[in-house]
Every structure is written in C-alpha cells, then in structure tokens.
Amino acid sequence: MKDIWKEETVEGVKKINKKKIIVTTVVVIIIVMLTVVGGLYISNRVVRDWIDRNIFRKEVEQDTVATIELNEEQQANIYAFNRYIGILNQTKFTIYGNTGNEEATLDVQISSPIFSSANRFLAIAENKGQKFYLIADRNISWQGEVDGNISQIYVNKNGYVAVAITGTSYKTVIKMYNPDGKEMFTTFLANTRAVDVSVSNDNKYLAIAEVDTSGTMVQSNIKVISVDKAEEGQTEESLEKTYNSETGKLITNVKYQDRGRLVCMYTDSITVIENDQETSLVDSEDKKITFQSVELENNMCYVEEKSSGLFTADSVVNIVNIDNKETKQYTVNYVAREIYTNGSIIALNLGTEIEFINTGGWLVKRYIANQEITTIVVSDSIAGIIYRDKIEIINL
C-alpha cells in the first residue's frame, strides 16, 4: 500500500509533500490562535467577558432557566445541597433535581430547621428543639432526639454528625454520632458557650469554638478533642489541645480542611491551626473588609471594598489557598451586598446580578435579573434564586 506521507523522489530529486505541509501549517496556526486567545482571556477583562458570554454561555437571564413553583401562602424553608434543592414545608421535605423535577418527598417532623451539608449528606435539626435527621442523597439515613435544645448541627463529608445542645445543667453539651446513627460520646462545657463545631475530614478530631463571657472581656477558645479517645471513655485524655485567643477577640466559625488544618474565623481576622500552631491568614486592620468566609473546600475568602472613583467602589474577592497560602483575586465593579459560599463556589449578590466564581478565581456563571435579588441558596453544583412565587435553578 502506498504511503501518502512518504516523500517521493524522481531522478534523485525530492518532491515536497504539499498535503503534509498544509496539515502542519493548519495545526501551527490553531495552536498560535489558541495561545493568543488564551492569553487575552487571562489578561483582558473585556475579551474575557465577551468569550464567557458568547462562547462559553456563562451568562443566563431571569425567566430563561428551569424553575420550581412556590405556594405564596405557605412559609417554606429552602436549602441547596449536593445536586439538589430541598424545600421544607409543613413537615414535608421535598427534594428537586437540577431541571426542577420533584425527586423525593420525606417526612421530617421539623418546622424551624437548622441545616448542615457536606458531600452527599444533609443534616437537619429543629432549632431550639429536640429532633434531628441525617439525609444521605434523597433518603433519610437515620433520625435522633436529644434532651435539651439544639443550637447547632454539623455533618462532615463522611456522615459523622455533631450536635450542640443548650438548656441543660451545662452551658453547652455536644454529642457526636457515627454515620449509622450510633452515639459515640458526649462532651460537656460547664462555663462556656459553643458557637461552632467541626469534624475533621478523617473523622479523628472534633473542634469546638467556645466563648466565655463571664469576665469583663470576651475570651474565645478552640478545643480539639480526639474522637477515638473520647469514644473509648478517656474523658480527660481526649482533650488534645486548647488554643486560647487574644482577650477581646470573638470567634464565629471553625472549619476543618484537608490534612487536619483547622481554619478559624474571628470578627476581625482569619487564622489557621496546623502543626499545633495558630497563624494569621488575614487581618482586617487597614482593610475595608465587608465579608469573609471559611465555608469553602481547602480555601477561605474575604471581600475587600476599594474605591474606584469619587462615588464608586469595586469589590475585590481575595481567595486564599489553605495549602500553599497563595491568594487569587476576582474583581467586580460593584459593591457586593452579600456573599454565599459552599464547597468550591463563591456567589456574589450585586443587586440585580449574581456572579458565581470558583476558588480558582474564575467566573462559573453570571445570573442577570430584572428585579432586586434578595435570597439565594447555593451548593457546589446547584444554586437557587428565590422569589416570592418560584425558585430559579442555576446549574454550576
């Protein structure tokens, strides 16, 4: 069989293979064009916006997406988790998929819910009540009940649940459960109030952010408890470490990341605990920080407002990678009204627009409305724009 790529010779003189040259030239041109366009996409905001809108189709408008109809006369509690949007209404928890189709309805005896989600798990508890549930995908995995009043619930990506309880003889009681619903241990806080809890991704540690308000100044502490030792009944030995914050600093959130790193958010700063040391990631001193969050996967973020004119300002989203401490920025030419974070997604409410960006600092989706946006719910894969009579679904 004749090889068309082989160069032919006539009387010892090489002939040029024109087809081979044309193919090579086209490939080189395509590579050069992609390189140029890629460079412009990265460096030029105008080009990037045009490509996002016209080629990648990242911009969507109100009334052009799938919706879930709402009963205007009923007060519903709405939450986004995994690939679903759930609506809790009169003890019925209805789960919808990304096309707005109803996929499951669960009986949940809760009217005023507290939610926590990770991976395929969703924990729901009655705020200041006794009942709580763990949902895996679209089914109730198990349910529980406690003595006292539930103030918080937390589930990690493997289905381990921690419940904070008040209204007992202790300031706070924290119970931990395994993915099958078996109670593992109970921790008691006699003089402090737990403001947040987090379970490590390897299920080995429980972190408790606590606040002591008995003195003249607020004292915040972070306790790290060994799950294995606590489960074995080694009460005193289970407390691995206590980190005492500076007097007057108020802690609000803690979040375990990979490799046992614990990110801690205060009202004026964010720190990370690793290798038994607490170090600062950001301090609001000399910065106009409007929002900050640690509810991200191996990242944290804060929004800094910077003046761009006499009466205008930009919002600069700073995304800090917990692993290498590198910061990526994303700038919008508006003042952000709210931010929502979950997994790798950061949603910026700009009034009549919402920009969904990822922790890499890139736009994932832009939603444009013809009215003010007041409430949204967001997970790592789906978002819901909540209006009086409907929820508009954005796939991320």
pLDDT in tens, the chain (396 residues): 455 445 455 555 566 677 777 778 778 778 877 776 666 666 667 767 777 787 878 899 999 999 999 987 778 899 999 999 999 998 999 999 999 999 999 999 999 999 999 999 999 999 999 999 999 999 999 999 999 999 999 999 999 999 999 999 999 999 999 999 999 999 999 989 999 999 999 999 999 999 998 888 999 999 999 999 999 988 788 999 999 999 999 999 999 999 999 999 999 999 999 988 999 999 888 789 999 999 999 999 999 999 888 788 899 999 999 999 999 999 999 999 999 999 999 999 999 999 999 999 999 999 999 999 999 999 999 999 999 999 999 999
Q: How far apart are CA 355 and CA 370, in angstroms?
A: 15
The 3-state DSSP class for residue 144 equals strand
List, edge to edge, every strand of the sheet that includes 113-118. Answer: 113-118, 121-126, 131-136, 139-145
The 3-state DSSP class for residue 218 equals coil
CA R_g for the chain: 26
Pairing of strands 59-61, 363-368: parallel
- Please state, in angstroms and as integers, the Cα–Cα distance from residue 267 to each residue in 207, 220, 249, 270, 284, following that order: 18, 11, 7, 8, 9
Half-sphere exposure of 293 (CA within 13 A, CB side): 20
pLDDT, tens digit, for every residue of 32-80?
Answer: 777 766 666 666 677 677 777 878 788 999 999 999 999 877 788 999 9
Specify the pLDDT at position 1.
47
Specify the pLDDT at position 78.
96
Specify the pLDDT at position 310.
78
- Please state, in angstroms and as integers, the Cα–Cα distance from residue 225 to each residue in 155, 171, 174, 222, 235, following that order: 16, 18, 11, 10, 10
How far does Cα 391 stand from its chain's mean position? 20
- Please state, in angstroms and as integers, the Cα–Cα distance from residue 374 to each residue in 149, 348, 377, following that order: 30, 12, 11
Specify the pLDDT at position 15.
63
Specify the pLDDT at position 5.
44
Specify the pLDDT at position 37.
64
The 3-state DSSP class for residue 265 equals strand
Check: CB of residue 220 under 8 Å from CB of residue 243: no
Specify the pLDDT at position 42.
67
How far does Cα 255 stand from its chain's mean position? 11
Q: How far apart are CA 336 and CA 355, in angstroms?
A: 10
The 3-state DSSP class for residue 145 equals strand
**Could you tell me where the DSSP H helices lie in 156-271?**
227-231
